[in-house]
Amino acid sequence: MTDKKSKSGVKTIDTDLVRDLAAILTDTDLTEIEIEQDDLRIRVSRQNPVQAVAAPVQIAATAPVAAAPPSSTPAATPASAEGAVTSPMVGTAYLSPAPGTDAYVKVGDTVKKGDTILIIEAMKTMNQIPSPHSGKVTAILVEDSQPVEYGEALMTIE
């Protein structure tokens, strides 16, 4: 490591050395390198670009203690069924705007295209899910606070 003196007699940093250290970072995929000799210390670092990665969320399900009452909705309605409203994202479905309040829709309700029918929470963001078409709600296929997958049938509107 060499120190250079400028015309004014002040020590300057050897820019070739800094470039060599930067090249080492690139060649080795390191994010930081530091060297020290005598009273001179040089540290070169870089930040890798942040990459957004969708990671699956695992939620532990608990088994019910008692048998659930019979549901008014069919247990297995395929997402391809006519009138099925599918989830546009992975998240947690909420049937009402807040705990303890009335659900957005109930079986038998008539909705218009664009009416909010439920909320899906994804990454701590509440996403209102609109009705894709007008019609009558014939089945609600998810429970309140239930995890849902992309493309999963949420309800049917005919």
Q: What is the pTM of this model?
A: 0.50
Complete domains list, the chain, with CATH: 10-45 (no CATH), 84-157 (2.40.50.100)
3-state secondary structure (DSSP) of residue 90: coil
Quote the percentage of the chain above a pLDDT of 70.
70
Q: CA-to-CA distance for 90 and 44, rounded, in angstroms?
A: 41
On whether the CB atoms of residues 138 and 85 are closer than 8 A, the answer is no
Pick the closest to residue 153 from 129, 136, 135, 134 (CA basis).
129
Q: Confidence band (pLDDT; 50, 70, 90) for 72?
A: very low
More confident residue, 74 or 142: 142
Helix and strand tally (H, E) in the chain? 1, 12
3-state secondary structure (DSSP) of residue 85: strand
Q: CA-to-CA distance for 33 and 50, rounded, in angstroms?
A: 20
Predicted local confidence at residue 124, as pLDDT: 87
- Scan for tokens 């970072």, then name that residue: 25
Q: CA-to-CA distance for 108 and 105, rounded, in angstroms?
A: 8
Q: What is the mean pLDDT of residues 30-34?
A: 77
